[in-house]
Amino acid sequence: MQKKRAIVVHGWEGKPQSNWFPWLREELEKRDFKVFVPLMPNSNHPKADAWLNCLSQVVGMPDEETFFIGHSLGCITILRYIESLKKNIKIGGVILVAGFTTDLGYDDLSTFFKKSINWKKIKSHCKKFVSIHSDDDRWVSLHYGEIFAENLGAEEIVKHGMGHFNEDSGVTKLSIVLDSILKFSK
């Protein structure tokens, strides 16, 4: 039997050892997942092509035992990656934490939003989505969760007082992500 894989994609200025990623890796490995948390290239000045190439190399051949977890900019990176998949490839599920669908007014993020998101193509590769946002995230508003729910059929989860789900907000464990991936992977 093929081992379940989880690929965690950090956000802008992020790194694999930060936030709740080490905790999630440990929890998933205890449950026999193979976990990848790649360092995305030049995370202080991210470029979509470089991030997509990196993610594609890490994933190799995705399948229904492959699950993606994105934080912040990692969410659109995952969605753009899924858009690029060949027809008939299916993946197990996607969890979007503090994700967004515009450049939020930052030039550094513009390469990720040069074209419209192809929601239909993304849904053709994956049926299970969870969108998690906080009611006090100073960068990413709750309406992005509504966009994911409307366009992907994502389960929309709103947490209270979690900020941007990062260490600066005091978040080093995120059990809702673990719970969601375990529910997807049953």
Q: Which pair of tokens denotes residue 140?
A: 């990413």
Measuring CA to CA, how many Å separate 165 from each of 38, 53, 125, 160? 18, 26, 27, 11
Q: Where would I find the beta strands (DSSP E) of 99-146?
A: 129-134
pLDDT of 2 reads 72
Residue among 96, 113, 112, 107 nearest 158 (CA): 96
Check if the beta carbon of residue 140 is closer than 8 Å to that of residue 164: yes
pLDDT tens readout for residues 32-82: 999 999 999 999 999 999 999 999 999 999 999 999 999 999 999 999 999
Domains and CATH numbers, the chain: 5-184 (3.40.50.1820)
The residues, any chain, with a CB within 8 Å of residue 51's CB and separated by 6 or more, are: 9, 40, 41, 73, 77, 112
pLDDT beneath 50: ranges in the chain: none
Q: What is the secondary structure of 44-90 as a DSSP string?
A: TS--HHHHHHHHHHHH-S--TTEEEEEETHHHHHHHHHHHTSPTT--
pLDDT tens readout for residues 50-60: 999 999 999 99
CA separation for the pair 18, 39 (Å, rounded): 11
Check if the beta carbon of residue 5 is closer than 8 Å to that of residue 37: no
**What 3-state DSSP class applies to 10?**
coil
Strand partners, 65: none
Check if the beta carbon of residue 130 is closer than 8 Å to that of residue 163: no
pLDDT of 186 reads 86
Task: Read off the pTM.
Answer: 0.97
